[in-house]
Chains A and B, each alone.
Chain A
Amino acid sequence: MASGVKPRVKVPKTASAGDTVTIKTLISHKMESGQRKDDDGNIIPRSIINRFTADFNGQNVIDVTLEPAISTNPYFQFEAIVPESGEFQFTWYDDDGDVYEETKKIEVS
């Protein structure tokens, strides 16, 4: 497992039905591109987050493919419409097979 990986998410706690809310996500990850060489000239193997998804009550909201050129600690900000109270689930997929998850509840009044 890559070290120092920690997902973070900022979602408003409350919203009105049909509101568009801004969601900010960030995962600390070194995003090793696979292009760099170490001191001995050997290629440092690629190790990146290759996919990020967000679901709301089981329905997919966003699905992103990440490429090696994306720099360290990838940050995504996007907007979502919330029709009802529920839970956002965020998932990051690592090259090494690890999956990092984070959930956030939102109250809709």
Chain B
Amino acid sequence: MNLKPWMAAAFVGMAGVAIAQDDSTLSIDGEDFVTETAAPAHVENLSTIYSGWRFRTPETQALQEDDFDNPAMIFVDQGMDLFNAVDGAEGKSCASCHKGGPEEFVGLHATMPKVVDGKLIVMEDLINTHRVEVMGAEPWKWSGADMQAMVALIGLQSRGMPMEVAIDGEAAPFWEKGKEIYYTRYGQLELSCSNCHEDNYGNMIRADHLSQGMINGFPTYRLKQAKLISRHNRFRGCIRDTRAETFAEGSDEFKALELYVASRANGLDVETPAVRQ
């Protein structure tokens, strides 16, 4: 076969993208993070799981390596202000009950979502339940700035701890439902989560490297949106891009999907709040 030089170059280029996750090591203020580990047994189609951080450009990666450079920390600070702000009919703030401050929640984020009293609970539920029932305040919007700042503040307390989401016992039926959604093809493009994030991670989707869709860094500061992005917002975005009608943020479907997707990252360190493209 007589290849023209530009064609040969194109083939070499294509061979290169297949391994897009790089060898960088994530270290934030001297603390090393696990961004690559053996896949948990329940993730049948992957042998190694990688944090989304490994798929990003060096410039984006660097933003997460210094808390001063990490734009998400502005929102964590706002979350701290909200933690101490009195709101609602009872005249209470979060700090009125949680006197130990957000540090009371060390490790919580790494085990969420979880089943409480037969219901699947994610962090946003927990916050709004307490706002309504204890503080007598208005619930926050799911992907609102207030809500995600608080989720990020609580998530930060678990940063550096391995994700450890329970999938057995009471959680099993929700997990099965989430798994079914993960492998269902949606929309006019007939794409499931797995088509991109399992079969094609490391390949390009338009101008971006596809990651494995691990959610150990959420809420994530996305540079293109210049704010914290919730997990459900990202689920919605992905399903919308398949040209489907999406589930609503906070719906039972997305909560189940969140449990399943979170469990796929079991073993990776929590990076909340991460920085992505």
Contact, CB under 8 Å: A26 / B68: yes
Tell me the number of A-to-B contacts counted with CB atoms below 8 Å: 16
In the complex, the answer to whether B68 meets A24 with C-beta atoms within 8 Å is yes
Identity of the chain B residue whose Cβ is nearest the Cβ of A72 in the assembled complex: B226
Query: Does more than half of chain A's interface fall in helix, strand or loop, or is it mixed?
Result: strand
Q: Which B residues between 43 and 79 are near A, CB-CB below 8 angstroms?
A: 68-69, 71, 74, 77-78
Q: Interface size (B, Cβ < 8 Å)?
A: 7
Contacts of A8 in B (CB 8 A): 68
Bound-state CA distance A72–B226 (Å) is 8
* Across-interface contacts of B68 in A (CB, < 8 A): 8, 10, 24, 26
In the complex, A104 has a CB within 8 A of chain B? no
Complex CA gap A88/B77 in Å reads 23
Which residue of chain A has its CB nearest to the CB of B75?
A28
Residue of A nearest to B145 (CB): A4
Q: By the criterion CB–CB under 8 Å, are B226 and A6 in contact?
A: no
Residue-wise, chain A 52-82 has the 8 Å CB interface mask toward B (1 for contact) of 0000000000000000000111010000000
- CB < 8 Å: which of A10, A24, A71, A73 contacts B74? A73
Report the minimum CB–CB distance from A99 to chain B (whole Å): 20
Bound form: Cα–Cα A73–B63 in Å: 15
Overall SS of chain B's interface:
loop
Query: Is B226 in contact with A24, judged by CB distance below 8 angstroms?
Result: no
How many Å from the CB of B60 to the closest CB on chain A? Answer: 15
Chain A residues within an 8 Å CB radius of B69: 24, 75
In whole angstroms, what is the CA distance A24 to B70 when docked? 12
A1-52 residues with Cβ-Cβ distance < 8 A to B are: 4, 6, 8, 10, 24, 26, 28
Per-position 1/0 for B236-269, Cβ under 8 A of A: 0000000000000000000000000000000000
Q: A8 — nearest CB in chain B belongs to which residue?
A: B68
Known A71-B226, A72-B226; judge A6-B71 contact (CB<8 A).
no
> Considering the chains assembled together, what is the distance between the CA atoms of A75 and B71 in angstroms?
10
A8-B68, A10-B68 known; A28 and B226 CB under 8 Å? no
- Extra contacts besides A6-B74, A6-B77, A10-B68 (13): CB < 8 Å: A4-B78, A8-B68, A24-B68, A24-B69, A26-B68, A26-B74, A28-B74, A28-B77, A71-B226, A72-B226, A73-B71, A73-B74, A75-B69
List A residues at the B interface (Cβ < 8 Å). 4, 6, 8, 10, 24, 26, 28, 71-73, 75
Listed from nearest, the 10 A-B pairs whose CB atoms lie closest are A10-B68, A28-B74, A24-B68, A73-B74, A72-B226, A73-B71, A6-B77, A4-B78, A71-B226, A24-B69
A and B contact pairs by CB, cutoff 8 A, 12 listed: A4-B78, A6-B74, A6-B77, A8-B68, A10-B68, A24-B68, A24-B69, A26-B74, A28-B74, A28-B77, A72-B226, A73-B71
